[in-house]
Amino acid sequence: MKFALASDLYTDCSPAGEQIDWRLVRQWIGVDILVIAGNTSGSLERTWVEVLAAREAFDRVIFVDGNHEFQAGLSVPEGMETLRHLAARNDGIHYLDGRAGVLIRHTLVCGVAGWHADQAAMLACRISEAAADPTIGEIVVVTHAAPHPFSRVVPVCNETATLTDETVESTNLAPIWSDCLDGGKLTVWCFGHAPHPMDFTESGVRFVCNPRGHPCTGAPGPYSIHLVDTSLLTGDMWGD
């Protein structure tokens, strides 16, 4: 399976003239699936506008929310329910909330933001179910939270990363891949909320993040949407 990967776009913070032209991205990258691993903007409304814009270019847009989406103060359960409702009404848009996910041919794409212990537990349960399902040959996971201790996270300006007192560190997600709950089917784990792009493999699982970054962090430009091929493993940054 091949797809385009982006995260931490902060579209509401980007200077004028630096918005992403999704049609141009689709033409350049040559795939019809886009995955966005959270922190698209600082509000659910603005994130949804960006998802709809991306859907006009891509056949499928698969996304999770990040902590930045809740800076306006909306509760996590309310926000998740809003995104579920919006995605259900729009063909080709898939919001990952820890539940079923989306099956594309033999590949299951599932995930959740991953900040909370209950989200990590729900995701682990779904992956265990997929491991036992003979119709699923491959699992791709998408979270905003980091699943691996190598994927160090950093604060973004004055943004408050803590949504509640139960925020999840990478150790809560790590058992999903390190304890082989996936039955050997997990090929790629996409994530966000990282200081820079990463692409490495451990225990047969490829971990990839491709953050644009917040303008106030001085993220280098120009930003490039990354192409991920799940049949390829890598041992260092951005492949061999």
Is pLDDT of 100 > 80? yes
Instruction: Please report the pLDDT score of residue 15 as a whole number.
Output: 63
Return the CATH class of domain 2-229.
alpha beta
**pLDDT band with cut points at 50, 70 and 90 for residue 215:** low
Question: CA–CA separation, 76 vs 199, rounded Å?
Answer: 29
Mean pLDDT (whole number) for 186-215 = 86
Question: CA–CA separation, 39 vs 63, rounded Å?
Answer: 10
For strands 205-209 and 186-191, give the pairing: parallel
**pLDDT band with cut points at 50, 70 and 90 for residue 218:** low
Is pLDDT of 208 > 90? yes
Least confident of 16-20, 107-111, 133-137: 16-20
Instruction: Please report the pLDDT score of residue 203 as a whole number.
Output: 82
What does residue 118 show for φ and ψ, rounded to 5 degrees?
-70, -30
What does the block give as tokens for 101? 């996910």
pTM (2 d.p.): 0.86
The DSSP letter of residue 68 is G
Is pLDDT of 221 > 70? no
Mean pLDDT (whole number) for 187-204 = 88
Question: Sign of the CA dihedral 3, 4, 8, 10?
Answer: negative
Instruction: Please report the pLDDT score of residue 89 as a whole number.
Output: 92
Domain ranges of the chain: 2-229
Q: For 150-175, what is each residue's pLDDT tens digit?
A: 654 444 454 444 433 333 456 778 77
